[in-house]
Structure 1
Amino acid sequence: MSPLNADLHCHSVVSDGTLTPEELAARAAANGVELWALTDHDEIGGQHRAAAAAHAKGMRYLTGTEISVTFAGETVHIVGLGFDPDDAEMQRGLQQTRGGRGGRAQEISAGLAQAGIPNAYEGALKYVGNPDLISRTHFARYLVEAGICKDTNEVFRRFLTEGKPGFVPHRWANLKDAVQWITAAGGVAVIAHPARYRFTANEEYALFTEFKAHGGRGVEVVTGSHTTAEANKYAGTAREFGLAASRGSDFHSPDESHTDLGKLPPLPADLVPVWDLLADRIR
């Protein structure tokens, strides 16, 4: 039997993607995705649209979100899957963590103005589907449009990472809160793309230990930003900590994303797929 083509990590215009939930569903279905989740950043406002679009295209669907948390001075992303999208406590928590983005965006714009790039906030707003979720990605798209950088990777490198003129840190939710919002709403918490975090071995061990202690149950092993070697490494981490494995492209845009929806290699056969934990939540 061929492995399930599940893509459980992507973004729409409800956060920082460029396609609507309906366009993403059509693209996923065209690429052979059988089980899909939309995981907008700190936002679940697109969930009912995404589920309806998935079902119209013959796909099964899991609710999703990607919550930003602060851990050991780094921003870490926790994907939630299979939760109740109408859970009031989760909605309140996500609303709080979104709340700091507007002020942060104004500070980013001020930093860029000092570097000789005026009106970046207004420029970024043109790319925002949801003003509550204005992010560095929206600024990056504007700087590419303005001809200041050739692509969004160059924008981040020159202007939007730590020590650069447009970098402004933001205090997100804490790990315990994010995991508990997800699990209390009936879902499963997953550490997203762990190879992207700049942790020492000890810090990474602490992340996985605390995550599991708070009720976290999964880790992304196969994802758009992982090399084969990194996927193998985190397959080992999943075995070590007894975590289920997830798979997701982290697709944002046809023009920006390296990996398209549904185009990832399969999970290692000996790992428990995260969707096995969520069989009763798949719709």
Structure 2
Amino acid sequence: MLIDLHSHSNASDGQLTPEELVVRAVNRQVDMLAITDHDSVDGLAQARQVIIEQELKLTLINGIEITTNWLNHEIHVVGLNIAPDNEALLTLIETQKDKRESRAVEMGRRLAKAKIPGVYEGAKALAGEGAITRAHFARYLVEIGAAPTFPKVFDKYLSRGNTGYVPHNWVSMEEAINVIHLAGGQAVLAHPNHYHLSNKWMRRLFTEFKQADGDAMEVAMGQQSPQMRLQLAMWSKEYDLLASQGSDFHFVGRWRDLGKALHLPDIAKPVWFDWPSYLLLSEKKEVIL
């Protein structure tokens, strides 16, 4: 059974619509997909409607990826099996939306001051109705030739200490975990190895995430060495966190795609181990995990 529990639509910074995303998941032979847009649940209803109308053989997991502040580090927490209409969750989303907008305006102002005008407006156009993110700024800066690639844009303009960087003011990691639980979901620490933390700080993050009642951590990702996957699995066991997996899909690319190279090491305990059985059954009604 192919499970992908981290993906993005254009309700945040993904490039596919929710319809295109679920259709691609089916074409990629994904059996279960979580749509986890940044601080947004706007794409979930459309995705579910498409699955019903087109009778797609895909189990959709309601998800979200909440951007948080932990000791001045931007840490992402995925919520799985959330109730999208939960009042506490919707309130948090509105708070995050306001923070994103204020940050985006200030990023645009700083870039304009550095003689790169119109970046906020360009990023906003790319975001459309979705939550605006630094990825939209990066896409626009690449389009206008300010830098050749996403990494170069971040290195030159959008990372800490550079012209377009604006410090974040997100909700706390503890608050995000609490709201995910209030919405009936499981809180998953997203892509731990993406934060460029030392082992000492990584261990502190795991400890405090667990102390805040976090449920799981992402262990398997598409672009990842076998050694890193095994290390994350060992940490998940050491800190008594369940293990999740996801492509963190944003767009069709050479190295990352829905469901690509996703499997957990044997020592990891899957985040879905106690999910309702109907979510985990094959067409033959046999549990194949």
Match of 2:28 in 1: 31
Q: d(CA) in 1 for partners of 2:262 and 2:82?
A: 26
Aligned with residue 19 of structure 1, among 16, 21, 25: 16
Counterpart AA for 2:239: F
Q: d(CA) in 1 for partners of 2:167 and 2:177?
A: 22
Q: d(CA) in 1 for partners of 2:125 and 2:255?
A: 24
Unaligned runs of 5+ in 1: none
The offset of 1:118, in angstroms, is: 1.1
Match of 1:185 in 2: 183
Q: d(CA) in 2 for partners of 1:157 and 1:88?
A: 38
Match of 2:274 in 1: 277
The offset of 1:282, in angstroms, is: 4.1
Q: d(CA) in 2 for partners of 1:64 and 1:282?
A: 15
The offset of 1:77, in angstroms, is: 0.3
Match of 1:172 in 2: 170
Structure 1 contact 36–54 (Cα < 8 Å) conserved: no
Structure 2 contact 229–265 (Cα < 8 Å) conserved: no
Deviations 1:73-117 (A, max 9, x none): 110000000111111111111211221111211111122123221
Structure 1 contact 34–60 (Cα < 8 Å) conserved: yes
* Distance change in 2, residues 1:156/1:281 (3 Å): farther
User: Percent of pairs identical after alignment?
Assistant: 38
Match of 1:70 in 2: 69
Match of 2:235 in 1: 237
* Distance change in 2, residues 1:29/1:151 (3 Å): same
The offset of 1:225, in angstroms, is: 4.5
Match of 2:284 in 1: none
Structure 2 contact 79–188 (Cα < 8 Å) conserved: yes
Aligned with residue 195 of structure 1, among 193, 196, 206: 193
The offset of 1:203, in angstroms, is: 2.6
Q: d(CA) in 1 for partners of 2:34 and 2:212?
A: 23
Q: d(CA) in 2 for partners of 1:65 and 1:21?
A: 13
Structure 1 contact 8–37 (Cα < 8 Å) conserved: yes
Match of 1:208 in 2: 206
Aligned residues: CA RMSD: 1.8
Deviations 1:227-265 (A, max 9, x none): 32221111111110121111100011125x731001123
Q: d(CA) in 2 for partners of 1:72 and 1:235?
A: 24
Match of 2:93 in 1: 94
Q: d(CA) in 1 for partners of 2:208 and 2:156?
A: 34
Deviations 1:30-76 (A, max 9, x none): 01100111000011122222233345311112110000111121100
Q: d(CA) in 1 for partners of 2:46 and 2:268?
A: 31
Deviations 1:159-212 (A, max 9, x none): 100011000011111111111111121111100000011323333222212211
Structure 1 contact 62–282 (Cα < 8 Å) conserved: no
Deviations 1:125-176 (A, max 9, x none): 2211325x21111111111111222222211111100011000011111111
The offset of 1:281, in angstroms, is: 8.7
Counterpart AA for 2:108: S
Match of 2:160 in 1: 162
Counterpart AA for 2:267: D
* Distance change in 2, residues 1:121/1:60 (3 Å): same
Are residue 5 (structure 1) and residue 2 (structure 2) matched? yes
The alignment partner of 1:265 has SS state of coil
Match of 2:138 in 1: 140
Counterpart AA for 1:47: L
* Distance change in 2, residues 1:164/1:92 (3 Å): same
* Distance change in 2, residues 1:70/1:275 (3 Å): same
Q: d(CA) in 2 for partners of 1:98 and 1:68?
A: 11
Normalising by structure 2, what TM-score? 0.91
The alignment partner of 2:35 has SS state of coil
Q: How many residues align?
A: 278
Match of 1:254 in 2: 252
Structure 1 contact 72–203 (Cα < 8 Å) conserved: no
Q: d(CA) in 2 for partners of 1:71 and 1:277?
A: 29
The alignment partner of 1:264 has SS state of coil
Counterpart AA for 2:266: A
The alignment partner of 2:67 has SS state of strand
